[in-house]
Chains A and B, each alone.
Chain A
Amino acid sequence: MSFTKEFLKQEREAQWRLDLRNTIKNKERAAIERVSMPELDPIERAKEQRVEVNTGLPVEAAQKEASRCMDCVNPTCIDGCPVSINIPKFVKYIEKGDFMDAATTLKETNSLPAVCGRVCPQEKQCEAQCFYVQKMKKPAVAIGYLERFAADYERESGVQNLPKVAELNGRKVAAIGSGPASLAFAGDMVKMGYDVTVFEALHEIGGVLKYGIPEFRLPNSTVDLELDTLEKLGVKFEKNYIVGKTASFDDLKGLGFEAFFVASGAGLPNFMNIPGENYNGILSSNEYLTRVNLMNAAEEDFDTPVLFGKNVAVIGGGNTAMDSVRTAKRLGADRSMIIYRRSREEMPARVEEVNHALEEDIEFMNLNNPVEYFADENGRVNRMRLLKMELGEPDASGRRRPVPVEGSEYDVPVDLVVVAIGVSPNPLIPSAMPNLEVSKWGTIEVDMDTMQSSIPEIFAGGDIVRGGATVILAMGDGRKAAAGMDKYLKEKYSTN
């Protein structure tokens, strides 16, 4: 569901919106300062893996922030949202005090509002397109904080307003993987009346929301509630099931599944392939975070072990690197270091995560690149060799290319190294489907408007298509795939 300009205009002319706009002059709205997110004390919070850093806006603060929004004639913020949330409508509901209606508005297009309110890079999306930023050179309306506020308000109210679901249309479809792309897909499909089953390889539903993003940023209870909503809408979940392995696509077709949405993620962690990288104590961020988040390895009564480092180096500058280094700090590291080959400017991580990490005393060793690791007699890493870098001309990504400073190598003692330099597509699904067109990077080739692959009944989205992106882009893919698949199935059956 995307909104036409006319529809949005009509909604904007609703009496309650008109009344609300007349209560405060735009000049007064613009004079209000952007709210800041209340958060826990950095020293205290850095001791707890499972306590959320951001505590959420209080009611008055949320309403005041919502009143900054001028309910623009042309709400450009929506264009910045990959899942096309009706942003002015939900924000105005908050201003008005109708918080449950705000939450319902979010759920019309977003299956995971409490998640997105916490992990979306809003500063690059909706908030980047806000009138304040575009025309007034002022900080954007805090759309992300408000999204979280509305979603949390509903959860805390104990009342779960379910979006409308069409009558079952008798068509069975499958989503493969249970991360954000699949959940967004499943939410839209179930609302359109499809019988949706989500297949997950791991023993928990949620994909990266569970194994990847730590609880201090996204509590599992928040994810579970969103999963519960989907389940109540009729989405079925199958854990411990690898499509293409446990059963083939053909087996599933035999069971009545007519189309598939492949969102199996970018499974394989990248390494740098430098000497010593296979020593013990050097692991991927996927492994480190999975042990801690999914397997609860840091807790004594859980069986999975994790290494507790004293001098921990995390290689990379993305959100996963921030999650890893802040986890290491929480698990008792004396030194938690980010080793990043470019400068702060070029870091792909969300601004908020970098700021939180800085507040928590994470050391940022920017313009440094590891070149070799050394180990003790048992093969456990004890030292890394870094090479200093400087910034040269911009490269293909538009960011300034890091250039080694010759002869600048120096050694740093470490006992745990987490490599967080990105992931490659998981080959499990593509290898099970020899006719599926994949790129040279192993990503599935799709029509980016419909997310349909070279095999008509197979759609794909998220990291298996993009090779490594964000929760919200994956969700946008899931929504597009749902629309694409619905159209495909309708056309297929109208001609028969």
Chain B
Amino acid sequence: MNKIVHKEIFSEKVVKFDVEAPLIAKSRKPGHFIILRVGEKGERIPLTIASADTNAGTISIVVQNVGVSSAKLCALEVGDYLTDLVGPLGKATEIHKVGTVLTCGGGVGVAPLLPIVEGFKKAGNRVVSILAARNKDLIILEDEIAKWSDEVIIMTDDGSYGKKGLVTHGAEEVIKREKIDECIAIGPAVMMKFTALLTQKYEIPTQASLNSIMVDGTGMCGACRVTVGGRTYFTCVDGPEFDAHQIDFDEMIKRLGGYVEEEKAAYERFQVLN
């Protein structure tokens, strides 16, 4: 049981929680994720850690309300407890000094991007960050990202904040403007796919962090399998980050829809009851 000590509502559907997890706060590294459960009948939900406070013994997670499980999570308040929390899971991001790093975050993908931005900056890199979302309300953690970035570019689909356009538009401008040594992309699968296509064109090594469907998150079930460079990997133990130019994004996107009918039906039942 892990207590929620802070809750911040970023937008109608996006919430940030600080949760007591002293051991994980100490052992987690950028790129790691956790799995949590809400209630004894709850699903195991994987979420990448956005930040941690070792003194307070807390970790931060950002969640978007998209279905039954995330709705139950978003409804929790300060003082409530998560039924289960385990981590840190996955491989940590490989962070080193490469020169200039372009980090691209889409939607709630900005949350897992935050510790990576911090890591690359602390490793002595120049960091240019692009935050993208559908509209102004969905841009999150701008100040936190800015703290560890040399430059932050905001892109919104509707132009309500920053520049109008997709993350790839912003990224291409930067790439044309200066030499980029490495790129990190985290966000919706489609966003990562097109970012990868762009950086492939410019031959920039790129990592993407995948949010595959998982059950146990420890390598046991294989629900999270993904094809990278023609081979099957498990996102939970081999990832979550992979060489974005090698990921079969089309397969990955289809696999994300593997339970879409079941999830839709469950959400409808849930909304009727609540």
Q: Report A's interface with B, CB cutoff 8 A.
A: 201-203, 211, 239-242, 245-248, 265, 267-269, 271, 273, 277-281, 283-284, 286-287, 290-291, 295-296, 300-307, 378-380, 426-428
From B82-90, B114-122, B163-171, B172-180, give the one contacting chain A.
B82-90
Residues of B62-94 at the interface with A, using a CB-CB cut-off of 8 Å, are 68-69, 72, 83-89
User: Are B87's CB and A267's CB within 8 A?
Assistant: no
Contact of A426 among B44, B84, B87, B219 (CB under 8 A): B219
Q: How far apart are A248's CB and chain B's nearest CB, in angstroms?
A: 7
Residues of A within 8 A of B101 (CB): none
Residues from chain B with a CB closer than 8 A to the CB of A307 are 259, 262
Enumerate chain B residues within 8 angstroms of A287, measured Cβ to Cβ.
215, 221-223
Contacts of A240 in B (CB 8 A): 84-86
Tell whether A246 pairs with B42 under 8 Å between CB atoms, given A239-B84, A278-B251. no
A296 and B41 contact, CB distance less than 8 A: yes
Contact across chains for A248 and B83 when beta carbons are under 8 A apart:
no
Which residues from chain A contact B83 at a C-beta distance below 8 Å? 203
Q: Which residues of A contact B41 (CB under 8 A)?
A: 296, 301-303
- CB–CB B221/A284 < 8 A: yes
Report Cα–Cα, A427/B83, bound state, in Å.
27
Residue B246, interface by CB 8 Å: no
Residues of chain A with a CB closer than 8 A to B24's CB: 246
B201-243 contacts to A, CB under 8 A, are 215-216, 218-223, 225, 227, 232, 234, 237
State A494–B94 Cα separation when bound (angstroms): 46
A203 touches B222 (CB 8 A): no
Given A246-B27, A268-B234, does the pair A241, B86 have CB atoms closer than 8 Å? yes
* Given A246-B23, A303-B43, 17 other A-B residues pairs in contact with their CB atoms under 8 A: A202-B218, A203-B86, A241-B86, A247-B27, A268-B222, A268-B237, A269-B220, A269-B222, A281-B258, A283-B223, A286-B221, A286-B222, A296-B41, A303-B69, A305-B266, A379-B254, A428-B219
Chain B residues near A202 (CB-CB < 8 A): 86, 216, 218
Which residues from chain A contact B69 at a C-beta distance below 8 Å? 303
Q: B219, B220, B223 — which one has the most chain A CB atoms within 10 A of its CB?
A: B220
Q: Indicate if the CB atoms of B232 and A303 lie closer than 8 Å.
A: no
Say whether B251 contacts A305, CB under 8 Å: no
Chain B residues close to A by CB (< 8 Å): 23-24, 27, 37, 39, 41-44, 68-69, 72, 83-89, 215-216, 218-223, 225, 227, 232, 234, 237, 251, 254-255, 257-259, 262-263, 266, 269
Do A278 and B218 have beta carbons less than 8 Å apart? no
Q: Are A245 and B232 in contact (CB under 8 A)?
A: no
Contact of A286 among B43, B88, B220, B257 (CB under 8 A): B220
Which residue of chain B has the shortest Cβ distance to A277 in the bound complex?
Answer: B232
Partner of B42, one of A278, A300, A303: A303
With A302-B41, A304-B43: A245-B27 Cβ-Cβ less than 8 Å:
yes
A242 contact set on B, CB distance < 8 A: 86-87, 89, 218
Closest residue to B269 on the A side, CB-wise?
A300
Alpha-carbon distance between A240 and B24 when the two chains are bound, in angstroms:
11
CB proximity of B239 to chain A, nearest CB, Å: 13
A203 and B37 within 8 A (CB): yes
Q: A201-B86, A245-B88 are in contact. Are A280 and B255 (CB under 8 A)?
A: yes
Q: Which 9 A-B pairs have the closest CB atoms?
A: A379-B254, A305-B262, A287-B221, A280-B258, A240-B86, A303-B43, A203-B84, A284-B222, A302-B41
Give every chain B residue within 8 A of A286 (Cβ-Cβ): 220-222
Report the Cα distance A284→B220, complex, angstroms: 9
A389 to B15, CA, bound (A): 55
Report Cα–Cα, A364/B269, bound state, in Å: 38
Note all chain A residues with C-beta closer than 8 A to B232: 271, 273, 277-278
Let me know if B220 and A426 touch, CB within 8 A.
yes
Q: Which residue of A lies closest to B43 (CB)?
A: A303
Inter-chain CA distance A446–B144, complex, in Å, is 48
Q: Name A279's closest neighbour in chain B (CB-CB).
A: B254
Give Cα A295–Cα B234 distance, bound, in whole angstroms.
20
Considering the chains assembled together, what is the distance between the CA atoms of A48 and B223 in angstroms?
25
Knowing A246-B24, A290-B215 are in contact, say whether A295-B44 is a contact too (CB < 8 A).
yes
Q: Would you call B234 and A246 a contact (CB within 8 A)?
A: no
Greatest chain B CB density within 10 A among A247, A279, A280 is at: A280
Instruction: Note all chain A residues with C-beta closer than 8 A to B234.
Output: 268
Contact of B215 among A241, A291, A302, A427 (CB under 8 A): A291
**How far, in Å, is A429 (CB) from chain B's closest CB?**
11
- Which chain A residues border B259 with CB–CB below 8 Å? 305, 307
Nearest Cβ on chain A to B27's Cβ, whole angstroms: 6
Kindly provide the distance from the CB of B26 to the nearest chain A CB, expressed in whole angstroms: 8
Please indicate the chain B residues that have their CB under 8 angstroms from the CB of A302 in the complex. 41
Which of A296, A303, A304, A379 is most buried by chain B, counting CB atoms within 10 A of its CB?
A: A303
